[in-house]
Amino acid sequence: MGSATLDAPGALAYRERVREWLRANLPDEPLEDPAFLSGDAQVEASRRWSRKLYAGGLLGLTWPVEYGGQGLGLVEQIVVAEELIAADAPGHLGVIGTDIAGPTILRHGSEEQRERFLAPILTGEEVWCQGFSEPDAGSDLASLRTRGRVEGDEIVVDGQKVWSSYAHLADRCLALVRTDPDAPPHRGISAVLLDMRAPGVEVRRLRQITGGRQFSELFFDGVRVPLDRVVGPLGGGWKVTMTTLAYERATLGFRLLGRAQRLRDRILQVLPEDDGTPETHALRDAAARLATELRATQLVNYRNLEGILRDGPGPRHVVPKLQWSHTNQALTELATSLLLQGRAPAAEAGFWEYELLRSRGNTIEAGTTQILRRVIAEQVLGLPKGR
């Protein structure tokens, strides 16, 4: 039982076609998760998978056909996101391009930018990263300090970015730089399309608590970016990126739920039957609680979908991500207990260790729990702004 929109006959037929494609085209050999790629062979294998997804029509769902997209809607995008997860399909390297950089260029870029950059995102020729957060600008992103000095027909970029996923493999970077230090913070920022191969760009990988090195520090030392690589108006970078991120949240809820449902299913497979002991009861009670939270979050996603299709994304729509982050952490904790109690196979220890530690990032990325509570408090409940 789902949403009227997702259960419409057209959407169901589309879902079946996607499932069929995945059945026929999933890679035979397991692909390393993009977080753990090491060596050119693995990177090339990941790129091949990106190209295959593109050839199968599973990338750029909502992009216009003239730029290589499928010209479909949010519904199809959600269906593909859900089916990729349900099939345990490998992640793909181009995700920043397809989900963040591409939509930003599509919505706010010039025609020349669209023609130059969109298709290579979909074909996997160019891998993108984001240059947003800085060591001193995380939740308070608008305080960013990376400088973009306008000199003639170029912008000279100096500064540092952090938490940039896939930067070590990227060809391009969607970066937020301060082009007008005298303007109010939100209005002096520009979004630029930066060439990662340009002189002055340095990438230093960061090790996450999971052991992976998915993201990096980026150092920009006098990097020259042509003025025609500014996306949207000069000084309009904040608005440009925030509207993109708001739309990204629309599918984020569905994607996250899909992954959590897979974890839940694995937990249910090893959950012990009720044997009357307090320990078993506690495990089963926790599993039931989390299954309820997941179901509720999914129902909120469906309800939000109707609202987003009608009015666009809004502050109310942070609820699924907020709830999911807590539920997912609890799921990985429950699974770890099952593992350490010998109830889940020891062979899965690596998998669950990764999930447990990775889940600590859920309440930090894409809006910390503390920030999202503030968004709800101020923008949904109308409480006065605080500190």
CB under 8 A: which stretch of 11-19, 53-61, 190-198, 298-306 binds another protein?
298-306
Tell me how far CA of residue 188 lies from CA of 36, 81, 183, 245, 334, in angstroms. Answer: 37, 35, 5, 19, 46
Is 51 a binding residue for another protein by CB under 8 A? The answer is no
Residue 173, φ and ψ in degrees, nearest 5: -135, 130
Q: Is 74 in the site for another protein (CB under 8 A)?
A: no
Binding flag, residue 300, another protein (CB under 8 A): yes
Which parts of 232-261 interact with another protein (CB under 8 A)? none
Helices (H), 176-271: 237-270
Q: Interacting stretch for another protein, rule CB under 8 A, among 140-148, 195-203, 206-214, 266-274?
A: 266-274
In the set 285, 306, 340, 345, which binds another protein (CB under 8 A)? 285
Could you identify the residue written with the tokens 């995102």? 121
Provide the 8-state DSSP code for 148.
E
Cα Rg of the chain, angstroms:
22
If one counts every other C-beta atom within 10 angstroms of the C-beta of residue 33, the result is: 15
Catalytic machinery residues = 248
C-beta of 260: minimal distance to another protein in Å?
A: 14
In this structure, are strands 128-131 and 172-178 parallel, antiparallel, or unpaired? parallel
Token digits for 34?
């993009």
Among the candidate windows 231-239, 284-292, 336-344, 347-355, which touches another protein by CB under 8 A? 284-292
CB of 230 to another protein, least distance (A): 36
**What is the DSSP pairing of strand 189-195 with strand 230-231?**
antiparallel
- Contact between 323 and another protein (CB under 8 A)? yes
Q: How far is it, in rounded angstroms, from Cα 218 to Cα 225? A: 15
Largest Cα–Cα distance of the chain, in whole Å? 77
Sign of the dihedral defined by the CA atoms of residues 263, 265, 268, 270, in that order:
negative
Q: Single out the residue of 12, 296, 340, 349 in contact with another protein (rule: CB under 8 A).
A: 296
The reply on whether position 262 binds another protein by CB under 8 A is no
Nearer to another protein, 151 or 285 (CB): 285
Residues 341-370 that bind another protein (CB under 8 A): 370
For another protein (CB under 8 A), the number of binding residues is 36
Query: Which CB atom, from 4 or from 349, has the smaller least distance to another protein?
Result: 4
Sign of the Cα pseudo-torsion (45, 49, 257, 282, in order): negative
* Out of 162, 319, 334, 356, the residue judged to bind another protein by CB under 8 A: 319
Q: Does 387 bind another protein (CB under 8 A)?
A: yes
Binding site for another protein (CB under 8 A): 1, 268, 271, 274, 284-285, 287-289, 291-293, 295-297, 299-300, 303, 319, 322-323, 370, 372-374, 376-378, 380-387
